[in-house]
Structure 1
Amino acid sequence: MKYKTAIFFALALLLFSCQDNNQKRLSENKKEMQRREIIFKNIEKGWVFYDTPVTEASEKSLATWNAWRIFLAELALKPRKSIKAFQQKSKALSKKVMDLNENIPYEYSKPQIKSRISTLITKVRLLDLFINLDAIPDKKVTQLVSEINLELVSLQRQMDKITEKSKIPIEEGESELMKMMDTTRAIPNSPIIDPNIPRVE
């Protein structure tokens, strides 16, 4: 009889503890869903890219620079439904931004442009990294979006500067002066041979 009552109380205690755990689990799931909803709304609000060309040079380059056009078109498409959609979009952006580095048009294939593209690649890859974390730092994601926008503007302004410089006519004799200043064309310094030093022949 004692065993039956002890077993009954143990089963009752187990039943109540299971119900208590289920309630805790349900409340934790509800809190997690609310937290994810807040993160989603913050990211959706902050996901605004400068997807249209800012300068005349970058607008003209859309016709000749295919990778640039595709990247801006990818920026223009904003995901809407879920965090998963934002994660997929960041992966696509990460792939498209890598193409910018490989297909630079000749007139923009300069260190100033390449460094800005490298910085843009870094920022987009960081965005992809942070948005795919388990605990998504929504403030960091929105900050990276604004930093990417700054890099886009910087890149386009540099493209504009290069285009403006190319319109300046070359003065007479300037090309010869540039050739003389080119260190790659200089005659290499040969070592001075001292006649007093014995040589092995």
Structure 2
Amino acid sequence: MKYKISLFLLFVFVLNSCQNEDEKRRAENEKEAKKNEVIFNKINKSWSFIDEPINEISEQKVNSWIEWRDFLNELRDKPRKTIGAFQKKSAAISKKAMALNTNIPPEFNIPQIRSRISILITKVRMMDLFIHLNQIPSEKVTFLIGEINKELVSLERQMDVVNVKSKIPKEEGEEDFLRMLDTARAIPNETTAPIPGKNIDPNTPKVE
């Protein structure tokens, strides 16, 4: 009889412990779900990129620069419903951003444009890194969304500057002058050979 009572009490204790663990686990899951909901809402509210060209030259490049067009199209489609959808979209944007380094139009393949593309890629990849962390720092993700938009504007304005400068007529003779400078830079510096001195006869009469 005592054995049965002890066994019954042990069973009640184990059952009670399991119920406590379940309640604790359920409370933690609810807490995590609420936290993820807050993160999702913050990112969802801030997820807005400049996906349309801001000037004429940028719009023209949408037709001829495939990587630029694909990147803007990727920015245009906003994910829905879950944080996982935002993570997937972020990875896709990062991939399209890195492709901007290839097939840059000749007129834009200059340091001023390439440096802005590099900065844009860096910030996109940082956003992708943060949004894939186990504990997502939503403040950093939303901040980087704003930074990416700033870099997009900076890049498109620089495109416009390059286009405007290319239309400024050069003064007469300027191109020839620039070619001469390039040629001069291309000629290696050579040490001038010393002119050998002549042996002068000390008895030679001098003309006064």
- Global fold match (TM > 0.5): yes
Within 1, Cα distance between the matches of 2:184 and 2:73?
Answer: 40
- Aligned pair count? 196
Counterpart of 2:80 in structure 1: which amino acid? R
Q: How does 1:117-196 map onto structure 2 within 5 Å?
A: 117-182=117-182, 185-191=185-191
Cα–Cα, structure 1 residues 110 and 34, in superposed 2: closer, same or farther, change >3 Å? Answer: same
Within 1, Cα distance between the matches of 2:114 and 2:122?
Answer: 12
Within 2, Cα distance between the matches of 1:87 and 1:137?
Answer: 13
Q: How does 1:1-201 map onto structure 2 within 5 Å?
A: 1-182=1-182, 185-191=185-191
1:126 deviation in Å?
A: 1.0
1:129 deviation in Å?
A: 0.9
Summarize deviations over 1:95-143 as a string: whole Å, max 9, x none.
1111111011011111110000011111111111111111111111111
Counterpart of 1:17 in structure 2: which amino acid? S
Q: TM-score, normalized by length of structure 2?
A: 0.87
Summarize deviations over 1:159-199 as a string: whole Å, max 9, x none.
0000000010011111122223338843112356789xxxx
Tell me the secondary structure at the aligned position of residue 182 of structure 1.
Answer: helix
**Comparing 7-16 and 39-48, the one that deviates more:** 7-16
Within 1, Cα distance between the matches of 2:24 and 2:192?
Answer: 85
Summarize deviations over 1:33-56 as a string: whole Å, max 9, x none.
111111111110000001111122
Q: TM-score, normalized by length of structure 1?
A: 0.90
Within 2, Cα distance between the matches of 1:20 and 1:177?
Answer: 86
Structural RMSD (CA):
2.0
Between structure 1 and structure 2, the one with the greater Rg is 2
Within 2, Cα distance between the matches of 1:140 and 1:70?
Answer: 25
Counterpart of 1:172 in structure 2: which amino acid? E
